[in-house]
A and B are shown apart, each in its own frame.
Chain A
Amino acid sequence: MSAVDCKMSGQSTLLEIRDLHVGIDGNEILRGIDLKMGPGEIHAIMGRNGSGKTTTANVIMGHPDFDVEKGDVILEGESLLELEAWERARKGVFLSFQYPQAVPGLQVGNFLRKSVASIRGEDEAKGSVFREELTSAMESLDIPRSFMSRYVNDGFSGGEKKRFEILQLMLLKPRLAVLDETDSGLDIDGIRTVSEGVNAAIRGTDSAALIITHYSRILEHVQPDMVHVLLDGRIVASGGPELATKLEERGYEWLKEE
């Protein structure tokens, strides 16, 4: 579909993934993914272990290890493929990692300030306004103040890492947030807190979120506009929130037959 088609359908497109084929070391992992998201929308991707969900997230963010063999990833009409990860971040792409990396010796407070400065601009990272924003975001996520002087993800528990990812989401204010299994490892309250954070960041704004998950619980809170099912590197089914419930009940086997 071209940009003209989008306008004709009365919908603007924030993210478009077009016939995306991705390989690593000669193995094809993604075999033709198509996806379109408009501003204010939340979509979910579900699918078996190894089906290509994290790979999709990595390729959107610009992980250097993957080879895009065909297709395109387009944000607001501009292809991202030639851009490095940090350039994409500055254009508003954010990834909440399935496995956030520890950086021993790098202090959380320092890291957050630097990240806000590089993505939202130096002025946004200065002074009391930033400190207040940070404090209230940490409070809403139940992250203790003591984390400010800890090292990035170093010795964090599984759930703490996920909360820290969402803290970054709230501070960096992306146009497109990809959440890779952010709900895995979170307790019940954590899932609710994170969902509230996502809703606040996306609904009624011109940003969008792509939530990768194995469970319908988080989707009950955020009520996605669309649910996509990934199987062997292809989207094999798309539908409303009811698709997530069906998958939870019946698993993935029936999709193979269809």
Chain B
Amino acid sequence: MAEGGVIRVSGDSEAREAVGEYKAGWHDPENSTIRFDFGLSEEVVRQISELKEEPEWMTDIRVTERPMPTWGNMSMLEEIDFENICYYLKSSDSTERDWEDVPEDIRNTFERLGIPEAEQKWLSGVTAQYESEAVYHSIREDLEKQGVIFLDMDSGLKEYPEIVKKWFCSVVPYSDNKFSALNTAVWSGGSFIYVPEGVHVEMPVQAYFRINAKNMGQFERTLIIADKGSSIHYVEGCTAPSYSTDSLHSAVVELVALPGSHIRYSTIQNWSSNVYNLVTKRGIAHEDAKIEWVDGNIGSKLTMKYPAVILKGEGSHAEVISVAYSGEGQHQDAGAKIHHLASNTTSKILSKSISKNGGRGTYRGMVTVSPKADNCKLNVVCDALILDEGSRSDTYPTMEVANPSARCEHEASVSKVSDDQLFYLMSRGHSEEESLAMIVNGFFEPFTRELPMEYAVELNQLMALEMEGSIG
């Protein structure tokens, strides 16, 4: 059972069963109700929009130019066969509010992933997306009464077109990069959240994304607006079956943190190693607002993701805390972008990456301070841990500071697990694998302590499984 993209281990025997395997890698028979042929054309884009009965302005936004991105792992991107990807696939007729009404095979999938159970225990609301559409959606009644809107994006567009029109593409313009533009063209699903002024959503809301079909492209679109003085914690998890052919996940997430509000967005992606995960995440923080990205990249073949914050309002604060694990054949190209546009803004980037079995981890960061922004403080720390020869870690930090009053701190470290460290832990009765997992989990600790407890425990379990069978 996995949940939130992270393996949930309920018993020892189950843990052992999963040794060295991707645990969420099973797939269900594909029973789609609507599916577009492979490949993308303006025709397909217009059909998707028509099918969703969208207003004309949305159809217009969808049809746009698509420049290729200019940073990241270009050669790996070239391998993507855009003609061989299914851009829209619908497996259920509607989004349900009761798990009982979700088609049985899909419900079983989410039960195996532990979602309904987690929902009962510790979440304020859940949305579950299967292929292109949300199949389940719910929010706690008390939050609904306080005016909190938590919908899948398609329903959001139908029910609150004015709010969506006002903010859609306001943070990530559709011409931003090829993948955000691709998303804007064919987007489907994702979450739409509006938190009214002064409302604090205490428990996290969760979205869970599952790709089941082969050669699938999932393009969810998420928009979160926190009104003045409000707060919300959004958590997402992702898994897919292990196929030998590639799938593409290309999401766009836009956050709007109005004055004095606080948005925390946590992700644990554990895509199978045939998924290209190319995601554009960006938020705008107004005066005294705070945006935090907590970003865990464990799965996928190639991830390119640089959660960004535009510090637009005075006194706003940004934090990007990320971990990346790159195993065999994986490249995690992740980092952060922060733009200090206003005075007295502060930012903190903490990046931790582990590479093993020839995996490759890259930190790519960009922090800018504009000439008008006085007294900004920025802090960047990137640590890499390399577990064996032949694994690789690179750091590309960029800082463009155009205001001399800025206080910048930057630290980077690359370390290896030493024999002496392993020997110390082994001398206390821990096997080599357990010892390595302790070191790795310790390395990730500054990240895990930011996660809700349930996630932290599961992330540790997941890393312990990744370390099994890894000692040569």
Which A residues fall within an 8 A CB radius of B? 58, 61-65, 84-86, 88-90, 93-95, 97, 99-106, 111, 114-115, 118-119, 151-152, 168, 172
Cβ distance B433 to chain A, nearest Cβ, rounded Å = 10
Q: Which residue of B lies closest to A91 (CB)?
A: B429
Contact A103 B442, beta carbon cutoff 8 Å? yes
Known: A89-B426, A97-B424, A106-B441. 6 other contacts (CB 8 A): A86-B426, A89-B428, A93-B427, A118-B430, A118-B434, A151-B445
Cβ–Cβ < 8 Å partners of B421 in chain A: 101-103
CA distance A86 to B132 in the complex (A): 49
Q: Which 7 A-B pairs have the closest CB atoms?
A: A105-B442, A105-B445, A118-B429, A101-B424, A106-B442, A85-B426, A119-B429
Contact A168 B442, beta carbon cutoff 8 Å? no
CA distance A114 to B423 in the complex (A): 16
CA distance A95 to B427 in the complex (A): 7
Cβ distance A201 to chain B, nearest Cβ, rounded Å = 16
Contact B438 A90, beta carbon cutoff 8 Å? no
CA distance A85 to B446 in the complex (A): 29
Q: 1/0 per residue B420-460: CB within 8 Å of A?
A: 11011111111110110011011111100000000000000
CA distance A152 to B428 in the complex (A): 12
Q: Among the listed A88, A101, A119, A172, which residue makes an inter-chain contact with B420, where contact means beta carbons less than 8 Å apart?
A: A101
Q: Which residue of B lies closest to A118 (CB)?
A: B429
B100 interfacial contact with A, CB 8 Å: no
Cβ–Cβ < 8 Å partners of A172 in chain B: 428-429
Number of chain B residues whose Cβ lies closer than 8 Å to a Cβ of chain A: 24
Cβ–Cβ < 8 Å partners of A103 in chain B: 421, 424-425, 438-439, 442
B419 interfacial contact with A, CB 8 Å: yes
Cβ distance B329 to chain A, nearest Cβ, rounded Å = 27
Contact A85 B423, beta carbon cutoff 8 Å? yes
Of A64, A84, A103, A114, the most chain B CB neighbours within 10 A belong to: A103
Q: 1/0 per residue B154-193: CB within 8 Å of A?
A: 0000000000000000000000000000000000000000
Cβ–Cβ < 8 Å partners of A104 in chain B: 442-443, 445
CA distance A168 to B446 in the complex (A): 25
Contact B428 A118, beta carbon cutoff 8 Å? yes
Of B420, B421, B428, B430, the most chain A CB neighbours within 10 A belong to: B428
